[in-house]
Amino acid sequence: MTVTYVIDGAEVTSLDRFWQVIGAAVNGPGGYFGSNLDALADCLHGGFGTPDDGDFVIEWHRHDEARRALGHDETVRTLRRRLERTHPGDNAAVQAQLDEARAGRGPTVFDQLVQLIEEEAPGVLRLR
């Protein structure tokens, strides 16, 4: 049996809020399903991800609202925070991404989330 987890895009107002919304959708209020891209990838692989680690689908309702909230402005905010914590050797790469996001170019946080889910768990994501 396939379990369906529903994310309401209207509730996704920031990347921080996304982590809360997907955690609650999968594991109930206060639940965890990643808090960064690496952790989300781990959760998607199973073993400590979905409650039953069986087949599942993530339905992202009103994803257009989340796409707007997780657009270039949120990407800039996220990259600024990452730049503060990044190893000095990675600063140039993160700064280049930040410059692109400030110019309204390049992948957004939303794009990165969708890409990660599609790569790590093909066929799991349904945008509604």
Cα separation, 88 vs 56, whole angstroms: 39
Phi/psi at 61 (nearest 5 deg)? -75, 150
Domains and CATH numbers, the chain: 1-70+108-128 (3.30.370.10), 72-106 (no CATH)
* Digit-coded pLDDT (tens) for 57-72: 999 999 999 999 999 9
Task: Give the up-direction half-sphere exposure of residue 68: CA atoms within 13 A in the CB hemisphere.
Answer: 6
* Digit-coded pLDDT (tens) for 69-79: 999 999 999 99
Q: Is the pLDDT of residue 18 over 90?
A: yes
Query: CA separation (Å) from 115 to 61, 86, 92?
Result: 17, 22, 23
**Interhelix angle 15-27/72-85, nearest 10 degrees:** 90
- Residue pair 69/14 in contact (Cβ under 8 Å)? The answer is yes
The stretch 12-24 carries a mean pLDDT of 97
Give 1's pLDDT tier (boundaries 50, 70, 90).
Answer: confident
- Residue pair 56/81 in contact (Cβ under 8 Å)? The answer is no
pTM score, two decimals?
A: 0.92
The pLDDT mean for the chain works out to 93
Among residues 48, 63, 46, which one has the least CA distance to residue 109?
63
Cα separation, 70 vs 93, whole angstroms: 21
Task: Please tell me the predicted confidence (pLDDT) of residue 94.
Answer: 97
